[in-house]
Structure 1
Amino acid sequence: MPATPAWPPKSAPRLFVETALSQDAVVALDGPQAHYLARVMRVAPGDVVILCDDVTGEWAARVTEAGKRDVVVTCEALLRSREQVPDFTLCAALLKKDRFDLVLEKACELGVRHIQPVLTRRCVADKLNLERARAVLVEAAEQCARTALPSIAAPVKLDVLLKEWDAARHLFFADENGGDSTAAQFAAHRGPAAILTGPEGGFDEAERAAIRALPQAHAITLGPRILRGETAAIAGTALWMGTVGDWQD
């Protein structure tokens, strides 16, 4: 007797939608999402797609109409409630577009809750297309099966970031000149946290002094080698998640 196929199929397309989802909710998809489903995935009535709304969680939905310009689906079952992600913010100095795209993608995969781009004196880039950045995060979340989208803010200058810092949040400063043991600092300062990583040319001495003067700042080392900005952001996030984040679960 053949095995019962998994439901929903693991190969089912997965999309984030802005519509609030609920049992039996009917969702009409158009634009790029409809094109992806109809032309790329070639869905037909009766097929299953996975929808997430960043509010309730992940739903299995059945295709009821599949046209060239729109696809209509009906929610049938809640598969997972929206995940609880650690209260962790990545404060990454703005990098060139392709490198910062990599930071956004991997930060999403690793479980970051919020991303705060930072402008420092040695930043090569000084602008960020927020709409495009959010699209990168959505695509990454769809690929890695997140049910909660990371939020992202507009870039802020370093001095403003430090001036407005939340007194209840620890700031782990990845200082290329050296710092304390990363794992020990993470373990000793649990709770709402953020990690600050630098640009291509690193922080200058005045910036480094200003960061270290913040009462909530803890200078850490990311090893004996000089890391690229994107590598430092990804490595620091992974270390925090593996030490005190939700990888422990």
Structure 2
Amino acid sequence: MNYIKAFIQSESSGGIMLLFAAILGVITANSPLAEQYFSLMHVYWGPMDILEWVNDGLMALFFLYVGLAIKSEMISGELNTNSKRVLPVLAAFAGVVTPALVYFLIAGSLPEYTHGWGIPTATDIAFAIGVIMMLGKRVSQAMKAFLSALAVIDDLIAIIVIAIFYGAGVDFSYLIGAAIVTGALWYTNKQGYVRPVLYVVLGAVLWYFVLKSGVHATIAGVVLAMTIPATGKIDGETVYPMHKWTDKLKNWVNFLIIPLFSFLNAGVSFADVSAD
């Protein structure tokens, strides 16, 4: 029992769960259960199938969790000054531009492939942060903050790239709705409101608007994270909503969201691959 408790509390548990789930996904995708595995992803629950609920729904909570961690570092950690924030921003831009440039240099002369330059620009943030988590205390807090911020910013840039250059189906009326809800969240924060109910309701509405807009819904998690107050008062007592949200989300992210995302997305079938 003590070993289980120690594993749950360890910094590397989330990364280990992610790696285990990824391996399990690959094995399942190439086993006699492959047909059921791929069919399961496309079972519909309401308006979306299971894979969409995980990638657009649960991963929004993952982005919320990571966003809260980055905000904490920006307030009182390794990203608490503008000079410290510049490096991950520049690295993220380089992480978008460089793979796109490499792609264009290789495939740019072929008209049918030229438009694919946006494909390699995004970092798989779940796996990137999972690797960081696996290393635990072997990685300094400064490096964790830098890499987490880099991965999130890289993903946000990639989402913007997709919306601008590939988003023929972007619905700007929903984007305007998302902007209005974001303003409401910002106003709620500035008014010193710290109880979670209003943030949860507005966050859910924001997620819906972003999802319907055609932009990747996970960006709603980051936006919500930036509006959760760090401190406040309830009945004269000082509370720390941001840290409370992080604590509540931690085990859900490490032991449900990340493993489920990894299991469903890492399952690559090699059925059509031969020695030739």
TM-score normalized by structure 1? 0.28
TM-score normalized by structure 2? 0.26
- Larger radius of gyration, structure 1 or 2? 1
Structure with bigger helix share is 2
Higher RCO, 1 or 2 (CA under 8 Å, sep at least 6)? 2
Structure with bigger strand share is 1
